[in-house]
Amino acid sequence: MERGNRYSQRPTDVYFYATCLVDLFCPEAGMDAITLLEREGITVHFPEDQTCCGQPAYTSGFANEARAVALTQMRLFSEDWPVVIPSGSCAGIMRHHYPKLFADEPQLKAKAKALAERVFELSEFLLNVLKVQWKDAGKPTTVTLHTSCAARREMGTHEHARALLAQLPNVNVALQHHESECCGFGGTFSLKHPSISSAMAGDKADALKETGAEAFISADCGCMMNINTTLQKRGDAFQGRHLASFLCERLAPKGEKA
């Protein structure tokens, strides 16, 4: 389903939905994402009652619990502003699966669909709605990209992130051999099948390192944490960064022409 047509003109305000992982484990990524939005002249609103999007319950088969969580989140966004999310997997469940959760409740389904039309993953919003044009102020570097399989499949986040990085002439993006493969996190999958998850994370870490990149970039904190923990257990200094933080560090001050 095509998205973004409602925002052919740049909005002045957005809601920022941080996700529970960013809130609890990667707050700096959330703050950097807000900085990227604000430097484009956007007023960012952060509903303080936001919690989990409901994805763990939904993907574990607990539809009633997922509906309760989804309904609470849907009530947060009363103004007709875009909802920007620094995670493709969380954005994907709100855009594609919230309407399914309320398929048998016409009024709630209509509200879920209306919200879905306003949901954007961060890199998608920067690229397709704000149409950012940036100047690279960083030193030459080589990075590699990891995109969560959910974000890749449902939101096309790998394409959006690649297009943003392509605007930075001093950044070389090396391709990894296992780019489309899962890192083993998979939300509750890593808890239910730890040995399988660990092996998958090891394969992914190997593939990222084999590129010769200085670091890997990801737009999803769950994957980033899983791979970083695997590398840390090995005593490896090679680590991942959230896309928002990487971009914040490299961009020229606002006002300089691209």
Distances from the Cα of 105 to the Cα of 54, 98, 114, 202, angstroms: 18, 12, 14, 43
Question: What contacts 62, CB < 8 A, 6 or more positions away?
Answer: none
Domain identity same for 185 and 246: yes
Residues in the chain: 258
Please indicate, yes or no, if residue 62 is contained in any of the structural domains.
yes
Query: What pLDDT does 258 receive?
Result: 46
pLDDT tens-digit profile of 148-181?
888 888 898 899 999 999 999 999 999 998 888 8
pLDDT tens-digit profile of 7-61?
667 899 999 999 999 999 999 999 999 999 999 999 999 999 999 999 999 989 9
- Residue 256 — very low, low, confident or very high, per pLDDT cuts 50/70/90? low
Which of 129, 164, 184 is where one domain is finished?
129
Q: For 89-111, what is the mean pLDDT?
A: 96
Domain identity same for 163 and 116: no
Domain identity same for 123 and 187: no
Please indicate, yes or no, if residue 98 is contained in any of the structural domains.
yes
C-alpha 57/C-alpha 154 separation (Å) is 18
Distances from the Cα of 35 to the Cα of 44, 133, 142, 203, angstroms: 9, 15, 24, 34
Please indicate, yes or no, if residue 5 is contained in any of the structural domains.
no
Domain identity same for 155 and 242: yes
Evaluated on CA atoms 196, 237, 87, 210, the torsion sign reads negative
Which of 107, 129, 151 is where one domain is finished?
129
Please indicate, yes or no, if residue 234 is contained in any of the structural domains.
yes
Q: For 82-107, what is the mean pLDDT?
A: 96
Domain identity same for 40 and 77: yes
Range of 195's domain?
141-250
Domain identity same for 115 and 56: yes
Whether 1 shows a pLDDT value over 60: the answer reads no
Which of 129, 159, 185 is where one domain is finished?
129
Backbone angles phi, psi at 15, to 5 degrees: -90, 145
Question: What contacts 47, CB < 8 A, 6 or more positions away?
Answer: 15, 17, 76, 77
Domain identity same for 120 and 153: no
CB 22 within 8 A of CB 221: yes
Q: For 95-119, what is the mean pLDDT?
A: 96
Please indicate, yes or no, if residue 37 is contained in any of the structural domains.
yes
Domain identity same for 121 and 197: no
C-alpha 95/C-alpha 98 separation (Å) is 6
CATH number, domain with residue 122: 3.40.50
Domain identity same for 149 and 221: yes
Domain identity same for 87 and 151: no
CATH number, domain with residue 149: 3.40.50.11810
CB 76 within 8 A of CB 54: no
DSSP states of 134-171: --B-SPPEEEEEE--HHHHHHH-HHHHHHHHHTT-TTE
Domain identity same for 30 and 85: yes
Please indicate, yes or no, if residue 215 is contained in any of the structural domains.
yes
Backbone angles phi, psi at 247, to 5 degrees: -65, -40
Question: What contacts 173, CB < 8 A, 6 or more positions away?
Answer: 142, 143, 144, 145, 162, 165, 166
Q: pTM of the entire structure? A: 0.92
Evaluated on CA atoms 79, 82, 88, 91, the torsion sign reads positive
Please indicate, yes or no, if residue 4 is contained in any of the structural domains.
no
Of 13, 98, 15, residue with least CA distance to 57: 98
Domain count of the chain? 2
Domain identity same for 157 and 122: no
